[in-house]
Structure 1
């Protein structure tokens, strides 16, 4: 039994980390990821997009509230009411804070049958403690491989990346804490949230100074990135910040030295994308017609 478990963990780690080791940033070629920056999303197009990608009215949605759960108490009524407001009347709620339980066939059965997974906000180290490198993690990867969608807001956004920004158990202001590994659904990336609403736009540099190979993404509230394969698209009401050591602006003509902006050094650069903008994660370039 122990040998089989070690082999399982080794195989799972190799699947998740192969792109990470090659320092390539990319999502899943079949499935879709939606990372939401937190805040009010009930009136935005974000949850409509999630429902559509998960199969519309026939979608089978599993909600994992572990990031928000304390003392194993789940506000089931609140969760169901919120998802009814999102236009998703039927959900399955799945939670444990026991990684041993998360590694059982019985527990992961709803994920095997799901077309969409949603991680709530809260503290993302709780998600990592419960599910990282378990059968839950494996089934989430399989869901993406079969074309499913995984979405999450705030903590549920950050956990999708490979590096776990703000993963410390003491408080959420420590950028590089005692939990640093995410699910790696998007490889070689660190994802932050609530960035403009909470004036967090400079915090990402703490991570990138130590891990310059990572792509940094900051997502504001009521805004999301939709990732499939190498392509990221912004949806929602505010902005996404890109930290890729370059600069992009619709005003900037790269061939005209007289009109180029005066910029700080590449280790202090970032720029904004708005709804409808697209970005190639692998090439780290804004896509323009």
Structure 2
């Protein structure tokens, strides 16, 4: 028991040091608007419908960005755009370039001006960085969120929403710490991984925590999402999200007989579970 208490105290110290240092907000997630962070794979309509609902329902205007996929070009059905139309979104536009100079023009960003939602498709997240980081496009995407809209994305489109860019290596997606390490930081001091259980990636995030002490790790399995608003993160979908915050949590409510030290701890959340990103604790178990 003494060992468990010591581990818990150490974890609390780490979590406290990891809270956002930006004094303009007390939130780890967006102060305004919503995020839908999806772990990849084939998606149930309920996940895409959640994006539509948060973007304004049938009146939503959604911009789909398929750039992470790496194809030479895209049609207007790319990266779930056709699914958003099928489910009733009023306006769906596919927006793409690999050229940051193009992404920095007023003409290119016009579809984002009246958008109420943005969706990032899957692929390799470093392509999103190379095309849009530091450009007018990145500014306008964040403006959609700041105005109360929604940013969603699956696979690469999930990881890009984090602060530390997990699997941002240009050579291999098997490296969780790569040559691109800065995401778009819609959630601060958080790293996001995806396809986690089906690809046996559930130990990989521990390497990020060693590399970036104090960061919060979230890894999401396929066809599963985390809805983030301010400090509230709610899991929904078919499988699990894994939390790496240096603490132990059990749905049974009992202390573990034997657990690793905080550097090796993680636990699973399922649909309906709610996690507080600021307190770094489960606040509701389904």
- What TM-score results when the alignment is normalised by the length of structure 1? 0.86
Q: Is the 8 A contact 2:59 2:89 kept in 1?
A: no
Give yes or no for the alignment of 1:74 onto 2:66: no
Residue 4 (structure 1) aligns with: none
How many angstroms does 1:270 deviate by? Answer: 0.2
How many angstroms does 1:44 deviate by? Answer: 4.3
SS in 2 for 1:76: coil
How many angstroms does 1:86 deviate by? Answer: 4.4
Deviations 1:107-152 (A, max 9, x none): 1121111000000000000000011111111112211111000000
Q: Is the 8 A contact 1:45 1:235 kept in 2?
A: no
Deviations 1:209-255 (A, max 9, x none): 1112110000000000000001100010100000000011121335x
Residue 32 (structure 1) aligns with: 34
Question: What root-mean-square deviation, in Å, do the aligned CA atoms of Structure 1 and Structure 2 show?
Answer: 1.9
1:158-169 map, 5 Å = 158-169=159-170
Q: Is the 8 A contact 1:25 1:189 kept in 2?
A: no
SS in 2 for 1:109: helix
Q: Write out the 4+ residue segments of structure 1 that deviate beyond 3 Å after TM superposition.
A: 18-22, 75-90
Name the CA distance, whole Å, in 2 between partners of 1:38 and 1:88: 21
- What TM-score results when the alignment is normalised by the length of structure 2? 0.87
Give yes or no for the alignment of 1:187 onto 2:183: no
SS in 2 for 1:162: coil
SS in 1 for 2:119: strand
Name the CA distance, whole Å, in 2 between partners of 1:28 and 1:233: 14
Name the CA distance, whole Å, in 2 between partners of 1:127 and 1:194: 19
Q: Is the 8 A contact 1:44 1:237 kept in 2?
A: no
Name the CA distance, whole Å, in 1 between partners of 2:134 and 2:70: 20
Q: Is the 8 A contact 2:77 2:94 kept in 1?
A: no
Give yes or no for the alignment of 1:99 onto 2:100: yes
| Runs of 5+ unmatched residues, structure 1 | 1-17, 255-259
Name the CA distance, whole Å, in 2 between partners of 1:65 and 1:57: 22
Deviations 1:1-46 (A, max 9, x none): xxxxxxxxxxxxxxxxx94668x871111110011000111x3421
Residue 10 (structure 2) aligns with: none
Name the CA distance, whole Å, in 1 between partners of 2:267 and 2:191: 16
Residue 270 (structure 1) aligns with: 266
Name the CA distance, whole Å, in 2 between partners of 1:141 and 1:81: 24
* Count of aligned pairs: 264
Q: Is the 8 A contact 2:61 2:89 kept in 1?
A: no
Quickly say closer, same or farther: Cα 1:187–1:52, change in 2 above 3 A: same
Name the CA distance, whole Å, in 2 between partners of 1:234 and 1:288: 11
| Runs of 5+ unmatched residues, structure 2 | 1-18
SS in 2 for 1:177: coil
Quickly say closer, same or farther: Cα 1:160–1:20, change in 2 above 3 A: farther
Name the CA distance, whole Å, in 2 between partners of 1:236 and 1:122: 21
